Amino acid sequence: MLIDPGGHEWMRHLQQHRGGAAESDEQLAIEAPRHRVSRKDPDVRHTRSVSLIRSFLFALEGISYLMRTQRNARIELVVGLVVLIVAAWIRVTPVEWAVLALTTALVLALEALNTALELAVTLASPERHPLAKAAKDVSAAMVLIGAIGAVLVGIAILRPYFDLVY
């Protein structure tokens, strides 16, 4: 049964009026429009209007926001850089270095996604709500899972090099 935010039980309503106007209205609401948006419409922003340089600037603004506002992102960046410096110092293979770099990037990307989701949830539900909390908790869990995976990758790659030292 589908329930909208207003509490209406649309499926029950559709079952009661099967074949009636309600079912055709629901069908129209589900189907996507088949016409294209006119490029001449001044109220519609198109992705082609944003230059490649401006796209990079927007991304850099996002990275700047992430680093200014998210303590965990700064910690993850520092840890990742330390791991990469150590990997370069002990001369891991290029493939191992690439795996470490991608793992570091993945954790930072997950942190950015977590931040974006938390901001969107806060915007959509400024008051406390159990589902908003669950969304934020699951988003944070995503970063934790990625960080645990990164630690395991780091151990798997770096440990043999330190066994040789001792």
Distance CA 40, CA 121 (A): 34
Catalytic residue among 9, 31, 76, 111: 111
Give 14's contacts (C-beta < 8 A, 6+ positions apart): 22, 23, 26
Q: Is 111 a catalytic residue?
A: yes
| Polymer length in residues for the chain | 166
What is the SS3 assignment for 99-154? Answer: HHHHHHHHHHHHHHHHHHHHHHHHHHCCCCCHHHHHHHHHHHHHHHHHHHHHHHHH
Q: Annotated active-site positions, please?
A: 111
